[in-house]
C-alpha cells in the first residue's frame, strides 16, 4: 500500500511542509501578491485573513464591508475585503483570491505571549476547500490539489 504522500501526489496533490508553533498551531509560509508571509492554518476560520496593518506590505486594495467578523478571543471586528489577489502555498496557486482584512493583534498577542512568532494572516476554510486540502498531522504536511 503506497504512503499517503505518494497516493496524493499520484492524484495531483502538491505537498506543503507545515511547522508547529509553541501554541500548537500549524504555520506555513505563503506568498500573497508576490510577497512572502507567515500564516497559520485554521480549519475553523471561514475565510483567509490578513492583518489590517499588513495591507500595504501585501499590496492589498480593500473596501469596507457591512459584515462584522467574529473569532476566538474577539467579537464583532470591523472587516475589509480585498479581491483579485494572487496566493501561492508551496506549488499550489490561486488567482483572484478574496481575503478578509482584520485586526489580528489579539491573535498575534496570544502567539507571542506563548513564545511563538507573530503571523501575517490566517489560511481559512475557503482556501482549504478550494484546494481540497488533506492534512497529515503526524507528518506535518498539507496537501492541496492543483
Nearest residue to 107 (alpha-carbon basis) of 121, 97, 94: 121
Q: Which three cell numbers stand for residue 6?
A: 505518494
Residues 94-117 pLDDT 10s: 999 999 999 999 888 988 898 888
Pairing type for strands 13-17 and 19-20 reads unpaired
Is residue 19 scored above 70 in pLDDT? yes
Average pLDDT value for the chain: 91
Instruction: Please give the model's pTM, rounded to 2 decimal places.
Output: 0.89
DSSP the chain: ---HHHHHHHTTEEEEE-EE-TTS-EEEEEEETTEEEEEEE-TT-SS-EEEGGGTTTTT---EEEEEEEEETTEEEEEEEEEEEEEEEETTEEEEEEEEEEE--HHHHHHHHHTTPPP-SEEE-HHHHHHTT-EEETTTTEEEEE-
Handedness of CA 43, 45, 46, 52 (dihedral sign): negative
Q: Say yes or no to pLDDT of 75 above 80.
A: no
Measuring CA to CA, how many Å separate 130 from each of 47, 73, 98? Answer: 11, 27, 12
Q: How confident is the model at residue 23 (pLDDT cuts 50, 70, 90)?
A: confident
Domains of the chain: 24-131 (2.40.70.10)
**pLDDT score of 73 more than 80:** no
pLDDT at 71: 53
Q: Residue 146 pLDDT > 60, yes or no? A: yes
Question: Which tens digits make up the pLDDT trace of 37-64?
Answer: 999 999 999 999 999 999 999 999 999 8
Amino acid at each position: 500500500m503506497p504512503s499517503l504522500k505518494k497516493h496524493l501526489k499520484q492524484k495531483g496533490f502538491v505537498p506543503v511542509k507545515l511547522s508547529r508553533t509553541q501554541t500548537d498551531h500549524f504555520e506555513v509560509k505563503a506568498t500573497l501578491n508576490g510577497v512572502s508571509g507567515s500564516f497559520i492554518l485554521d480549519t475553523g476560520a471561514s475565510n483567509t485573513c490578513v492583518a489590517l496593518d499588513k495591507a500595504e506590505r501585501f499590496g492589498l486594495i480593500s473596501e469596507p464591508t457591512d459584515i462584522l467578523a467574529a473569532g476566538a478571543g474577539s467579537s464583532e471586528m470591523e472587516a475589509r475585503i480585498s479581491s483579485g489577489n494572487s496566493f501561492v502555498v508551496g506549488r499550489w496557486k490561486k488567482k483572484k483570491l478574496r481575503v478578509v482584512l482584520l485586526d489580528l493583534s489579539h491573535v498575534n498577542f496570544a502567539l507571542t505571549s506563548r513564545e511563538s512568532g507573530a503571523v501575517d494572516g490566517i489560511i481559512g476554510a475557503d482556501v482549504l476547500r478550494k484546494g481540497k486540502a488533506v492534512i497529515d498531522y503526524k507528518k506535518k504536511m498539507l496537501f492541496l490539489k492543483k
